[in-house]
Amino acid sequence: MSIFSFFSRGKNKKEATPEKPVPAPEIAPDFKSVIAKLAKYSKKPLQRLPAIDPEDSFAIEGEFHEGYLALIPDQDTATAAALEFKAEIKGSAYRAFVFDGNEDGLLGVGLIKADSELDILRYRCTNAYNYDLGPEEVLAKIEDLDKRLGVTVVGCAMDWVELRFDKLPEDMDAFADEIYEFCPDSVDQGVGDIASLKEAITDMQGIFLCGSSRSA
């Protein structure tokens, strides 16, 4: 389980009850092959990914994004499945990630057509409004990390994102200070001190950041 958070992330989610599955459009030539692989991760019918309101990062009822969701009832299993599925579809026109629908109970492995890992965040509109950071500011920070370290988006919700890095920063002292400035609770509500933060980043080769969403 990831260790960086402004607030605790629930390990288990109330599982959504899937309704009659809605067919998704074939959005790339290898769609059928990729979808068949995704379906193996869930015992329930695949669901359409909801469209996301960029103003508040909530799902828009009755509207859908081009993509699928394999429902998985707990966070750790979803994370392991997303990482495995990412490796399976590497080089395709798609990106996989842990999708957490927050208020609607949807949790599992999401799949979207995307050119880069950062398109996952552009779709989900992850924010940290409790720190006055909207989706654009969060994305800008992750874009900067991607340029410097190379980023894989493991998963995200309206108020959290989990990342892995291709390489670790050369100056871990400065990097830990940077993360603490951007996400103070990575220490204050997380590992407890900067030394532990540095150790955790090294062990994880990534970060988990979470913030409280803005009131609807």
Residue boundaries of the structural domains of the chain: 31-210
Calculate the dihedral angle through the C-alpha atoms of 59, 161, 66, 81, rounding to the nearest 10 degrees: -120
Name 64's bridge partners: 50
Region of residue 165 (phi > 0: left; psi between -120 and 50: alpha; otherwise: beta): beta
3-state secondary structure of 206: strand
How far is it, in rounded angstroms, from Cα 42 to Cα 64?
A: 20
- Amino acid residing at 106: L
Q: Do residues 107 and 101 lie in contact, with contact meaning Cβ atoms separated by under 8 Å?
A: yes
Number of residues that make up the chain: 216
Q: Do residues 93 and 123 lie in contact, with contact meaning Cβ atoms separated by under 8 Å?
A: no
Q: What is the pLDDT along the chain (216 residues), one digit of tens a residue?
A: 443 333 334 444 444 444 545 555 556 668 889 999 999 999 999 999 999 999 999 999 999 998 999 999 999 999 999 999 999 999 999 999 999 987 677 899 999 999 999 999 999 999 988 888 899 999 999 999 999 999 999 999 998 999 999 999 999 999 999 999 998 878 887 788 999 999 989 999 999 887 644 333
